[in-house]
Amino acid sequence: MNAELHALNREAAQYGWDLSTQHQSRVEFTLESMVQLAQRKAAWLQDTCDEGALYRQYGWPYDRAYYLLCRGPRNTPEELSEMAQLFSFIQRIYTESEVCIPANCGASSSDDLWSNTFVRYPGLSTGHLDLSFVAPASQELISSTPTKLPKQLQCFSGEPDLERLMLSEGMERVCRGRFLNETVLRWAWESWRMAVGPPMRQSYGRLIELMNSGCMRGANHRDAGECWREELEIPELRILVDRLWHEVKPFYQKLHAVVRHFVRAKHPKETSSIDSDGLIPAHLLGGMWSHSWMGYARDIIPHCVDIDRAFADTNWTSLDLVRRAEDLYASLGLSRMTDEFWKHSVIGKGAAGGKCHGTAANMFADGSSDFRMIVCPRSEAPAQDFYVTVHEMGHIVYYMEASKQPTIFSDGTTAAFQEAFGDAMYLGAVTPQHLVRLGLLDSKHMAPEKMAPWANSTLNSFDYAFLLRMALAKIPTIPFEYLMDQYRWDIFDGSVEYGQDANSYFWFLLQRQQGIRPPSAVRARHPLFDPASVYHLSDNTPFVRYFLASFLSYQIYEGLCRGALYGTVSNPANEIPMPLHRCDLYGSKKAGKLLRKSLARGGSVHWTEVLEELTGDVELSGKSLLRYYQPLSEFLDRFIERHQLVVGWEH
CB distance 552 to 416 below 8 Å: yes
Give the whole-angstrom CA distance, residue 563 versus residue 566.
Answer: 5
Q: How far is CA 261 from CA 255, 464, 626, in A?
A: 10, 19, 23
Give Cα separations from 544 to 23, 215, 232 (angstroms). Answer: 32, 18, 9
3-class SS at 87?
helix
The residue annotated as part of the active site, out of 392, 481, 558, 613, is 392
- 392 catalytic residue (yes or no): yes
Least Cα distance to 644 among 277, 286, 372 occurs for: 277
- Residue of 306, 256, 121, 249 whose CA lies nearest to 195: 121
Report which of 462, 455, 395 is spatially closest to residue 435, judged by C-alpha positions: 462
Determine the Cα angle at 567 with ends 563 and 568, to 5°.
70
The torsion angles phi and psi of 106, rounded to 5 degrees, stand at 100, -10
Tell me which H or E stretch contains 121: strand 118-121
Element (H, E) at 54: helix 24-56
- Measured in residues, the chain has a length of 651
Residue 391 labeled ligand binder: yes
Backbone angles phi, psi at 107, to 5 degrees: -70, -25
Q: Pairing mode, if any, of strands 371-375 and 359-362? A: antiparallel
Hey, is 126 helix, strand or coil? strand
Question: Which of the following is catalytic: 303, 536, 606, 651?
Answer: 536
DSSP letter, residue 426: H
**Ramachandran assignment for 129, one of left (phi > 0), alpha (psi -120 to 50 degrees), beta (any other):** beta
Give dist(CA 638, CA 106) in Å, integer: 45
3-state helix, strand, coil in the chain (%, to 5): 60, 5, 35
User: What's the number of CA atoms in the CB half-sphere (13 Å) around residue 232?
Assistant: 25
| Other CB atoms within 10 A of residue 131 CB | 21
- Classify residue 367 as exposed, middle or buried by CB count within 10 Å of its CB (0-12, 13-18, 19+): exposed
* Through-space distance between the first and last CA atoms of the chain, rounded to whole angstroms: 54
Q: Could you give the CA distance from residue 193 to residue 97 in angstroms, rounded to a whole number?
A: 11
619 contacts: CB under 8 Å, gap ≥ 6: 611
Respond yes or no on whether the N-terminal peptide bond of residue 579 is cis (omega within 30° of 0): no
Does residue 380 carry a catalytic annotation? no
Q: At what angle do helices 544-566 and 415-429 cross, to 10 degrees?
A: 50
Q: Count CB neighbours of 533 within 10 A.
A: 22
State how far the Cα of 343 lies from the Cα of 349, in Å rounded to an integer: 14
On whether the CB atoms of residues 34 and 436 are closer than 8 A, the answer is no
Q: Among candidates 78, 83, 74, which has minimal Cα distance to 221?
A: 74
* CA 182 – CA 269 distance, rounded (Å): 9
The answer on whether 612 is annotated among ligand-binding residues is no
What's phi and psi for 380, nearest 5 deg? -80, -15
Helix (H) or strand (E) holding 19: helix 2-21
Q: Which residues are identified as catalytic?
A: 392, 536
Residues in binding site: 391, 395, 419, 545
Residues in binding site for Zn(2+): 391, 395, 419
Residues in binding site for chloride: 545
